Every structure is written in C-alpha cells, then in structure tokens.
Structure 1
Amino acid sequence: MNGTLRSVQGVFVLVLLLMMTGCGRAPSFDILGSFFPAWLVCLVVAILLTVVSRALLCRYVEIAWPVLVYPSLTAIFAFALWLAIFS
C-alpha cells in the first residue's frame, strides 16, 4: 500500500510540475511606461475593427440581430488577433 501511495504522489508531483511550465512571463505591451496585458490590447483592437465592420455592414446589409452580431464580431476579431500574434 505504501508503494502505491508513493507512485500516486509521484505522478501528482509530475503533473503539477508540467502544469507550472505555463506559468512563464505573461505577454504584455509597454505603452507609455505601463504594462498592459496582451488580451486587453487584442480586445481594444477588436472593438475598433468591429466599429469599422459595422460601418461597412450598415452600408450594404441590414443587421437583424445587432445585439448578437457585434459582440460576436468583437470576439472573432479578438481571438483571431490573439492567434495571429501570440501563437
């Protein structure tokens, strides 16, 4: 029983060590001396892209559910930016 407990503890410690490898430095941007997290920068750029998309979409198409469309566009742009820049 003691050997089984040690092997379970060993596996647990190994899993914890592997999970801690992701605890490196977080991606951040230095803007005027302040560090902002990368996800915040991606979100701000995504909101700006959504505003531009809204201007283009309103010109050609009537949006039926803007409450769903614009947050979805923002999320798509933010995730795409994150994948394009940080992966």
Structure 2
Amino acid sequence: MHSHRPTHAHGYLRAALMSSLSMTMSACSASPSRNILGSYFPTWMVCALLGIVFVMVVRGVLVKTGVDASLPVPVVVYLCMWTAATLAIWLVWLA
C-alpha cells in the first residue's frame, strides 16, 4: 500500500493558503465606523440612511412640482438616485 505523506510543496501551499486567509480576515477588523450616541455603527450604514433621507427630500420636491407622475419607472429611478446619493456621501465623507 502506498501511504500518503505530505510533501514540502504541499506544506508550503497550505502555509500560503492559511496566511492569505488570515490576512483577508484581519482586513475586516479595521472597517470605518462612527460613534453615534455611544454605539458604533458602520459608516456604510450611516451613508445608506443619509441617502434614504436625501431621496425622500428629492421625492417630496418632485411630487410638489409634478415631475413624479411623469417618471417611467419611479421605483428604479429612486433606487438609482439612492445608490448615487449613498456613494456620493461615502466619497465626500471618507475622502
């Protein structure tokens, strides 16, 4: 019978895999967060909430001016507007 013994290449491959996994997992510990009323929230969550507030204000303006009624697919338009606002807030806040 042939016994399976790990070779040096197998050991190096395993060490490389383990070190790359540990580096990727340690990158998550330094995510930007904000202290709000004593609790830390991820910055992306704060930006997403601010994006929702921005879109609600813009929708109010569009409803008052009558533009909202002429939008072809309002859900998609507002979703794209929310995404753009969230990413813009993220860029301005963290840059």
TM-score relative to the length of structure 1: 0.75
1:10-25 correspondence runs (5 A):
10-25=15-30
Q: Determine which structure has more spread, i.e. the larger CA radius of gyration.
A: 2
Once residues 29 and 40 of structure 1 are traced to their aligned partners in structure 2, the CA distance between those partners, rounded to angstroms, is: 10
Once residues 12 and 50 of structure 1 are traced to their aligned partners in structure 2, the CA distance between those partners, rounded to angstroms, is: 44
In structure 2, the residue matched to 1:70 is 78
Once residues 14 and 34 of structure 1 are traced to their aligned partners in structure 2, the CA distance between those partners, rounded to angstroms, is: 32
* CA shift for structure 1 position 8: 0.8
Identical positions, percent: 30
Check if 1:2 corresponds to 2:11.
no
Q: How many residues align?
A: 87
In structure 2, the residue matched to 1:53 is 58
Between stretches 18-27 and 68-77, larger displacement belongs to 18-27
Q: How large is the RMSD of aligned CA atoms in angstroms? A: 2.2
Q: Secondary structure at the match of 1:29?
A: strand
Q: Which runs of 5+ in 2 are unaligned?
A: 1-5
* CA shift for structure 1 position 29: 1.9
